[in-house]
Structure 1
């Protein structure tokens, strides 16, 4: 398939899932009662600081399990949510994870194993953290999931990695859709493309559900609206500016101030290393140039102002760079909740979902 990335960005239903859907039509609704409850339960895997959880948070939702191996991210998560995530996901039996309706997670992309004697996804995904997701989906059969990753996942290992993921999810009886979305189109002052993968379990459905990703919209939300002035403690030394950041007159790095009606570059977890090619810096501070402040970083990711980082500044930058664009997650979650609402209503008089909350 040529120009696969363009195809993904222009449609909500990609070629591979559509093909698998035609081959493996196994809707049975054998678990008819799955979506008859008062609270939608969610598990938060590879949780980081809980960005995806915030995007799914509603009055009728409850996070019943979270997992994050990084001890500093655990600290931030616990400080803001009042619970410490489980550590290494490899050390928990999938059957011990609480029952849930929605699985969410931004899983790392690793090379897949090419050795082993087991069949199916157990062989192809062995040694990869996606394998843990597949195990949980197989064991717990949630109604749906949302996974997030970098757009490069599509072409990783000459597309083999992504094809294995799609085939694995299909083999677990999930109807899958995916799309690459840019946070800049969701009222954030940052260009941040990510791939989002949504799947609905056919076991609970009579037929394929109607689901379309939000597409976002052009907007005038730029970084100038969030730039602070006279900020102390984030300055970049004059020496570093002269010998590194501005050693070439090539328009790099990106410099912004209160007059900059632009979207900043994608914020990365290594921002604290002050990289001239990928960094965005502010014309302000004691030396005339500084790093983005904590509040500015929160703004470009959609984090609430009262979100706290009880860790070092380096860890704060790492955690924000590894997090998700919350408004994008929020809008995808709305689409997923719409599907649940429609399915709950379709169950007739017996449904106990709080429909009025949707």
Structure 2
């Protein structure tokens, strides 16, 4: 006889069904059923949510309805892309009150997958501080090209400045700092490429740290997280968390699996055996075969092999990444639409490899569960590849949001900074 899991006992005491809890908490039903049966340990955020239900006098249904309507806390979504940061915070009671994303194609995907009771603003540099509503949490995956290894190399080759000297992108951090200085949110989460930490021998990150800590007065912690723990992709990003009021928050408490125990690509690839619902235009036929358009042409495959052989002979490590169901992929990039070289999927003997489909990219980035077709992709393949390559890995954001959530439910008095311009002048010179 199967023993009852601790999660099952807690859920039963809270008086909520498995399906209702999955819907309310934002986890898949298959995940909650695994917790229920004791197959895998539940996420701490799920346990906290059930604990909250038990502590409150209202019924679980009323609590969930109230949180769905008003949110436990409000947040703004800057440089929103297709909404990866937002999808990480909404399961914990967050309610988005402002969104900014300049790219029209990303706006289309964002709107298709997120309910907005507000307009999606374009260029954040053109938005008045007064037009941004008050909020508890600021989320921003500010553009990373000025700090990434590839971006720096390209700008050096073109004799162009990078980092804070880049007028068009490097200074966008200053807009984030200006919003923080004006609105004094309870907390913020910033995301960027891992190279931000070492860019310009660490001087770029020191300016960011000094701005946030010394000038704006926030308690700040940061961590480079490899998404390989949660999705079958090697993808390292830095996450910077700040709180206005001192508390015990620390990334030391982050609850994610070891990278060696992460999932493999077989969990996100189309099975092509009839077990998955047909998903046009990505799959077709009676068994859901991947469309032939994703298979590399003979010319492109020959070019990529020749390119790899050339660099191998020169002692360089450049080349394509050929993977199968038992592998973990390289980092999905925004340039994936060009040739797909970083992640090529092996096919049957004698058949050229193929690109991932946009649906597989959605799963690889955690925008939907493996095997799912929940995330709407209303744009062309080219735009979809760009959007997923620029996105955050949603399960990683959920893990960070879970760690932050307990500190977002208190309401200390805000500290208002009257002279925002003076703060920024001191911070940036």
TM-score by length of 2: 0.63
Cross-structure match for 2:140: 105
1:156 and 2:199 matched: yes
Q: Secondary structure in 2 aligned to 1:177?
A: strand
Contact kept? 1:236, 1:287, Cα under 8 Å = no
1:325 and 2:393 matched: yes
**Displacement after TM superposition at 1:317 (Å):** 0.1
**Displacement after TM superposition at 1:243 (Å):** 2.8
Q: 2:98 aligns with which of 65, 81, 86?
A: 65
TM-score by length of 1: 0.75
Q: Secondary structure in 2 aligned to 1:159?
A: helix
Q: Secondary structure in 1 aligned to 2:91?
A: coil
Cross-structure match for 1:211: 250
Segments of 5+ residues of structure 2 without an aligned counterpart are: 1-69, 147-161, 273-288, 414-429
Contact kept? 2:71, 2:93, Cα under 8 Å = yes
Contact kept? 1:175, 1:201, Cα under 8 Å = yes
Contact kept? 1:113, 1:125, Cα under 8 Å = no
Q: Quick one: structure 1 residues 254 and 244, their matched pair in 2 at CA, closer, same or farther if it must change by over 3 Å?
A: closer
Which is higher, the Rg of structure 1 or of structure 2? 2
Report the structure, 1 or 2, having the larger helix content.
2
Q: Quick one: structure 1 residues 336 and 248, their matched pair in 2 at CA, closer, same or farther if it must change by over 3 Å?
A: closer
Cross-structure match for 1:316: 384
| More contact order relative to length (CA 8 Å, sep ≥ 6) | 1
After superposition, the C-alpha distances for 1:64-121 in whole angstroms (9 at most, x for unaligned) are: 0000001110111111114452000011111221110010010014445569xxxxxx
**Displacement after TM superposition at 1:211 (Å):** 2.6
Contact kept? 1:222, 1:261, Cα under 8 Å = yes
Cross-structure match for 2:328: 263
Cross-structure match for 1:49: 82
**Displacement after TM superposition at 1:38 (Å):** 6.3
Segments of 5+ residues of structure 1 without an aligned counterpart are: 1-36, 116-123, 348-358
Cross-structure match for 1:235: 295
**Displacement after TM superposition at 1:201 (Å):** 0.5
Q: Secondary structure in 2 aligned to 1:158?
A: helix
Count of matched residue pairs: 292
Cross-structure match for 2:263: 221
Alignment partners' CA distance in 1, 2:220 and 2:139: 14
Q: 1:290 aligns with which of 354, 358, 364?
A: 354
Cross-structure match for 2:23: none
Contact kept? 1:189, 1:221, Cα under 8 Å = yes
After superposition, the C-alpha distances for 1:249-296 in whole angstroms (9 at most, x for unaligned) are: 559422223xx32210010000011164xx111123895321101221
CA RMSD for the aligned pairs?
A: 2.7
